[in-house]
């Protein structure tokens, strides 16, 4: 069997939200990369977390990842691969910086495709206009992100603006939904689609419409045919993809996840008597949707909130002589969490709601990372006695896995709800026994309705069924 790998460099730990049964790498050492390239899954996710970094830091990390991947692929004699730069379905992220670096280190590519649709979250692209719940995404709150703001939902113009006009809007190729619909039902139109993809050259940028999975399937079929041909023995075209999660699902024909959404809660850890261990919820995301979800969850009397005072923490981080204040606050919050766990209820650790004003975006990122590390330490201190963790927010989840639990990789079991993944560290010599098998639900900040966080908690507590 030909060894074909889909390499996904993910700028956030929640991008594997449509796949299952594959490794998610939190580090990219040669030993880790090579071991996981041998994994039977065709997918390999490297969680770069660059969306939580400055542009300069993201550039360094991306170069390091690409160079390590190139060396590992060579060492494992893997020649047939495609690379996906997985990013946000609401267009936030270091673009085109990340695709530029991938091209420089792993190229040359005949084309770069921009495919931001995330159908599970109702993010669709129609006539190259990207929408969220039917609204052009530049008219939503996400377009006003302090670090990744943008002013257009028309993807060719978005590409041009983000490249400071180095990539001209008129040169961007569009694959629209009407054409894809015809290719689904008409063999001749499908052949034209293949021919057009095969004719791409010079690393032209291409936007791809997607309103449903059938359109993604026919596009992915053409990509596979053009890249690998009938025998799939030799790659004939090299393309780069900047996409959200839905495209990855259609690019690779994965079997159903081993445990379905009704069975995944059974992975909750238990004590030596077989009783389920308590859970913990942490909410770092500060988008309005996260606020609503937190409010709904805390309305249940079995969920007790523990607020992490962001203003107090920021002041302490800015003043290096107040380390004792940070230590004392950490001890106080830990004791509150312990008291709630002992009482038989679920602690909900959350950052103060609302956004603070910072002199610069760089300081916002730096202090945001420090707060995420602080939360990660608290959760890790409680982890040995926990049955599961629900982690709301991409940065929050990444720092919990890396800084808190000190993991180098996790196994993705699948999705509890659409877009919401359950990951675990299974067996590793480097993982403390107290953390092994702990189910962690990585919950994107912008996913779901006001009731979704409560629904997830209900499922893990066996209080409701899907």
Same domain, yes or no, for 245 and 281? no
pLDDT at residue 430, as a whole number: 57
Last residue of a domain, one of 198, 230, 251: 251
Same domain, yes or no, for 273 and 160? no
pLDDT at residue 2, as a whole number: 42
Residue 8 lies in a domain: yes
Same domain, yes or no, for 133 and 213? yes
In this structure, what is the dihedral angle of CA atoms 48, 50, 55, 61, given to the nearest 10 degrees?
-10
Q: Name the 3-class secondary structure at 421.
A: strand
Same domain, yes or no, for 221 and 367? no
Quote the domain boundaries for residue 365: 264-460
Same domain, yes or no, for 236 and 367? no
Last residue of a domain, one of 216, 251, 286: 251
Task: Give the CA count within 13 Å in the CB-facing half-sphere of 435.
Answer: 22
pTM: 0.86
Same domain, yes or no, for 211 and 303? no
**What CATH number does residue 22 fall under?**
3.40.50.10840
Residue 256 lies in a domain: no
Same domain, yes or no, for 398 and 445? yes
Of 126, 266, 368, 410, nearest in space to 137 by CA: 126
Same domain, yes or no, for 158 and 29? yes
Residue 394 lies in a domain: yes
Size (the chain), residues: 466
Same domain, yes or no, for 84 and 124? yes
**What CATH number does residue 272 fall under?**
3.40.980.20
Cβ-count burial 405-417 (b if 16+ within 10 Å, e if not): bebbbbbbbbbbb
Number of separate domains in the chain: 2
* List of the chain residues with pLDDT < 70: 1-3, 230-235, 320-322, 427-432, 464-466
Residue 257 lies in a domain: no
Last residue of a domain, one of 207, 226, 251: 251
pLDDT at residue 255, as a whole number: 80
Residue 258 lies in a domain: no
pLDDT tens digits, one per residue of 272-317: 999 999 999 999 887 888 999 999 999 999 999 999 998 888 888 8
Q: List the structure tokens of 173.
A: 């190729």
Same domain, yes or no, for 36 and 175? yes
pLDDT at residue 320, as a whole number: 66
Residue 200 lies in a domain: yes
Within 34-149, strands assigned E span 43-47, 80-86, 111-115, 123-126, 129-132, 135-136
Helix axes 361-382, 310-318, angle to 10 degrees: 110
Same domain, yes or no, for 149 and 45? yes
Same domain, yes or no, for 193 and 269? no
Task: Give the CA count within 13 Å in the CB-facing half-sphere of 340.
Answer: 23
Residue 241 lies in a domain: yes
Residue 466 lies in a domain: no
Backbone angles phi, psi at 38, to 5 degrees: -85, -10
pLDDT at residue 197, as a whole number: 96
């Amino acid at each position: 069997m030909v060894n074909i790998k889909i390499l996904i460099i993910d700028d956030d730990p929640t991008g594997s939200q449509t796949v299952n049964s594959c490794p998610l790498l939190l580090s990219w050492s040669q030993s880790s990369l090579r071991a996981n390239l041998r994994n039977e899954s065709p997918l390999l996710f490297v969680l770069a977390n660059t969306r939580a970094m400055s542009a300069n830091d993201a550039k360094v990390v991306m170069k390091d990842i690409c160079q390590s991947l190139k060396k590992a692929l060579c060492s494992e004699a893997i020649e047939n691969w495609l690379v996906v730069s997985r990013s946000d379905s609401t267009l936030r992220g270091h673009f085109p910086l990340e695709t530029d670096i991938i091209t420089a280190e792993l190229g040359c590519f005949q084309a770069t495709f921009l495919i931001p649709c995330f159908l599970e979250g109702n993010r669709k692209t129609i006539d190259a206009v990207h929408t969220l719940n039917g609204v052009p995404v530049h008219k939503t709150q996400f377009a006003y992100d302090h670090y990744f703001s943008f002013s257009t939902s028309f993807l060719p113009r978005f590409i041009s603006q983000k490249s400071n006009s180095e990539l001209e809007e008129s040169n961007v190729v569009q694959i629209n939904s009407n054409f894809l619909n015809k290719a689904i039902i008409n063999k001749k139109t499908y052949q034209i689609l293949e021919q057009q993809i095969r004719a791409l050259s010079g690393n032209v940028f291409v936007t791809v419409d997607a309103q449903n999975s059938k359109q993604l399937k026919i596009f992915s079929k053409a990509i596979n045919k053009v890249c690998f041909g009938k025998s799939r023995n030799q790659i004939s075209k090299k393309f780069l993809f900047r996409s959200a999660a839905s495209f990855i699902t259609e690019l690779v024909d994965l079997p159903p996840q081993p445990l379905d959404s009704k069975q995944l809660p059974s992975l909750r850890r238990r004590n030596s008597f077989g009783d389920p261990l308590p859970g913990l919820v942490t909410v770092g995301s500060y988008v309005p949707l996260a606020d609503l979800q937190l409010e709904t969850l805390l309305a249940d009397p079995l969920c007790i909130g523990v607020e992490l005072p962001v203003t107090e923490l920021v002041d302490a981080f800015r003043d290096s002589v107040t380390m004792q204040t940070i230590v004392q606050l950490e001890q106080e919050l830990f004791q509150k969490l312990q008291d709630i766990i002992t009482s038989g209820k679920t602690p909900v650790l959350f950052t103060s709601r609302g956004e603070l004003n910072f002199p610069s975006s760089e300081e916002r990122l730096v202090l945001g990372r420090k707060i995420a590390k602080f939360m990660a330490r608290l959760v890790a201190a409680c982890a040995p006695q926990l049955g599961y963790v629900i982690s709301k927010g991409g940065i929050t989840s990444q720092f919990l896995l890396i800084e808190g639990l000190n993991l180098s990789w996790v196994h993705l079991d699948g999705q509890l709800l659409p877009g919401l993944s359950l990951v675990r560290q299974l067996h590793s010599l480097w993982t403390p026994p107290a953390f092994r098998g702990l189910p962690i639900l990585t919950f994107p900040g912008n996913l779901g309705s006001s009731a979704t966080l409560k629904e997830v908690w209900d499922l893990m507590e066996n209080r409701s069924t899907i």
